Structures are given as structure tokens and as C-alpha cells.
Structure 1
Amino acid sequence: MLALDRKGVFRFAALQSDCGRALLQRSGRAPDDISSIVLVEQQGSYIKSDAILRIAGGLHMPLPLVAAVLGVLPRPVKDGFYDAVADNRYNFFGRTSACRLSDPRFEERFIS
């Protein structure tokens, strides 16, 4: 997502960090719940497929169109797909030895 967010709209915080734990609590989640992606916006927070689709909607085309089409599916279907991809993410996307946290191009995008 870092590379796809060309405008730098989204910021990241590790859920285990003080900031991440505070954002989890603000979102009504337990501060130690790191089970899913959480998108926190001014008007609310979103998890799992809702978070992914809102993020996709904020990126460049065709991702907003894909998000709009998939957004009409029932939440259990979307979250089931999210869980399947999350459980197998290394099979789908591979592993990398590099950490984006140490990439100077994205340094300002991570909240510490």
C-alpha cells in the first residue's frame, strides 16, 4: 500500500506501539488486539475488509472501482475472503527481508 498511496494520504502505526494501542482504544478495541488491520479516520474506525476497501477507495484507479464493486458483498463474505488472504499472505505475496520502516522514502508515513 505504501507504493500505491502516491499522495501519501495514509499513515501507519504499529498496533503494539503506544500510538497504536491508543488508536485501538479510541476505536473501541482492546489495546492488545492486534488480530486485524485497523483503519482509523476522524469519523470512525474500520477493520478487516471494511478497512481494506476504504483504503482501496482512497488510492488511484482502478482500486476505487474494485472497492465499490466488492463493497456490495455481505460483510461475512468480504471478511471471509480477507481472513483467507491474511492467513495465506506469504503464499500470495511472498516474504521480504527488507522492512519499509527503514526505507527513507516512507519514513514520514510511520507514526512513532
Structure 2
Amino acid sequence: MKVILFDGECSFCNRSVQFIIKRDKKKQFKFASLQSASGREIVEDYGIPESIDSVVLIENNRAFTKSSAVLRIALGLDHFWKIFSAFLLVPAPLRNIIYDFIAKNRHKLLKQNQCIIPSKEDLERFI
């Protein structure tokens, strides 16, 4: 099982989850907000710092953060999104410069402060 942990209080992050759901036809990803009981439990189980300010992907019993998580998620999406995983060849410190810039400004990128309520079908993918 692949689990994506995200900031449940961030509109940009919630939109990203919706983006992933629409492009994950195999339904291989499950989701949990970092603020939820399930999310906090996973953070503790994997020794992820509670101060994490990143998307987290749990895959094959490993935790991936920042650009590594995003690019590994892209690898699991349908169609041409997989091509972005080629950036995994770029050293993480370089990739994370871009990731950190977006993460730092994510609250400004989408000023909308409401979350999309998942459909009944998609709700089953949240843990």
C-alpha cells in the first residue's frame, strides 16, 4: 500500500490530493492528513519529525519526503505524468530547492481557504 500524508490545513495540498485522485485510476494511493490520528500514527511509526513541512509518501515500508515523494507519486500516476519521475536522477538537494520554494509559498499560491469534499468513492481512499 502507498500512503500519501499531506497538510490537511493547506488548500494547495488539498488540491494536490484531488489532482492525484483523478490521475490514479489504479487507486494505488491512500491518503491521510498529517493532522489526523492516522497521519500522526504513521509519522510516529516511521520516525518522521512532527515538525515535517512536506508531503510524505510511504512506499515499500520507506518514507519519502519533499521532491522525492512528489516524483515517486508522479511515477504512479496515469499517462504522461510518469515522465516527471526522470527528475529523480537529479540530486535531491537541487530538486528540493524548487520544492522548498513552492512549499514556502503554497499558502499564497491558492488563497482559497476551503477544502474540496471527496466523493463517497474517493472517501474510501482516506485513512
Under a length normalisation based on structure 2, what TM-score does the superposition of the two structures give?
0.73
Is the alpha carbon distance of 1:40 and 1:78 closer, same or farther for their aligned partners in structure 2, counting shifts above 3 Å? same
Counterpart for residue 74 of structure 2:
56
Is the alpha carbon distance of 1:97 and 1:16 closer, same or farther for their aligned partners in structure 2, counting shifts above 3 Å? closer
Instruction: List alignment gaps of at least 5 residues for structure 2.
Output: 1-19
Deviant stretches of 4+, over 4 Å: 95-98
| Matches of 1:88 and 1:95, distance apart in 2 | 11
Counterpart for residue 103 of structure 1:
119
| Matches of 2:114 and 2:35, distance apart in 1 | 20
Equivalent residue letter for 1:76: P
Counterpart for residue 10 of structure 2:
none
Equivalent residue letter for 2:125: R
Q: Which has the higher contact order (CA 8 A, sep 6+)?
A: 2
| Matches of 2:36 and 2:52, distance apart in 1 | 11
Counterpart for residue 15 of structure 1:
34
Larger radius of gyration: 1
The structure in which a higher percent of residues are strand is 2
Equivalent residue letter for 2:60: Q
Equivalent residue letter for 1:99: C
Equivalent residue letter for 1:36: S
Counterpart for residue 83 of structure 2:
65
Under a length normalisation based on structure 1, what TM-score does the superposition of the two structures give?
0.81
1:78 aligns with 2:95: yes
| RMSD, aligned CA | 2.0
Shift of 1:104: 2.7
Match runs of 1:36-47 below 5 Å: 36-47=54-65
